[in-house]
Amino acid sequence: MKRIMGMKRRGFIALLLSSLVALTGCTDQNVKWSLYDVSGHLPDLEFSLQGAGNKTITQNDLRGKTVLMFFGYASCPDICPTTMAQLTEVIQKLGNEAKDVRIVFVSVDPHRDTPDILQAYVDAFNKNAIGLTGTETQIANLARKYRIAYQIEKPKPGANADTYDVTHSRGVFIFDNKGKARLLASDTEAVDLVTQDVRQLVEMTKGKI
């Protein structure tokens, strides 16, 4: 079952990436990207969700930061902790530029992932990461905006109501410090390549390139 779900997720992200690659041209003549350039083909960063302490967080709270956003859930057994670990390594490799970058983890499992549970989860990887959740409608609308597919299975008969499987597509959406969607990374990208492109993006938006 896990293998089948993994194949479905890989198939979805491959389809998403291929469709975006077909649309994408070179928009930054002075920069060579290793990741998928999605400039102009995905919406700007815009949301209103709940963070730790039930504080409402919007894109305005991330103004001036390069954002690495992905979707998952705190009890995910494989993809999410791996992605968080990889993005944390990216942040570490950025050195001084790390202060201008934020990891944002959006839960697709709002029933189990309260804002505080989610923040505790991301804190275990990176203290500057932000965990966000919301109502089912809020999450569904945001996921649809960025073409993220997910499915929450019903609990098995006789099982605890909080015991169920969640499947979701994967990929990291990278926004510049003005909230423009710029890059898309698959979960198989090498950490060094992601670091290289994030560094270039930070430097470019500061006028260093």
pLDDT band at residue 162 under the 50/70/90 scheme: confident
β-bridge partners, 131: 105
Work out the average pLDDT over 203-209: 78
HSE at residue 15, side-chain half, CA atoms within 13 A, is 10
Work out the average pLDDT over 82-99: 97
pLDDT band at residue 152 under the 50/70/90 scheme: confident
Work out the average pLDDT over 68-85: 94
Q: Which two tokens stand for residue 190?
A: 């090498």
DSSP letter for each residue of 56-110: EEEGGGGTTSEEEEEEE-TT-SSHHHHHHHHHHHHHHHHGGGGGGEEEEEEES-T
How confident is the model at residue 45, as a pLDDT? Answer: 97
pLDDT band at residue 26 under the 50/70/90 scheme: very low
Read off the amino acid at residue 184: L
Task: Assess whether pLDDT exceeds 90 at residue 17.
Answer: no
Cα torsion 12, 7, 104, 52: sign: positive
Closest CA to 170 of 106, 124, 114: 106
Which residue range forms the structural domain that includes residue 72?
Answer: 2-205
Give the three-state DSSP class for 148: coil
Q: Which two tokens stand for residue 186?
A: 């698959």
pLDDT band at residue 170 under the 50/70/90 scheme: confident
C-alpha–C-alpha distance, residues 150 and 169, integer Å: 6
Q: Which two tokens stand for residue 34?
A: 């290793």
Q: Tell me the whole-structure pTM to 2 decimals.
A: 0.84
Task: Assess whether pLDDT exceeds 80 at residue 207.
Answer: no
How confident is the model at residue 188, as a pLDDT? Answer: 87
How confident is the model at residue 8, as a pLDDT? Answer: 46
The alpha carbon of residue 59 and the mean position of all alpha carbons in its chain are separated, in whole angstroms, by: 14
How confident is the model at residue 104, as a pLDDT? Answer: 98
Residue 26 among known ligand-binding residues? no
CATH number, residue 149 = 3.40.30.10
The alpha carbon of residue 156 and the mean position of all alpha carbons in its chain are separated, in whole angstroms, by: 29
Q: Domain count of the chain? A: 1
Work out the average pLDDT over 45-56: 97
Task: Assess whether pLDDT exceeds 50 at residue 108.
Answer: yes
Asked if 83 contacts 72 with a C-beta cutoff of 8 angstroms, the reply is: yes
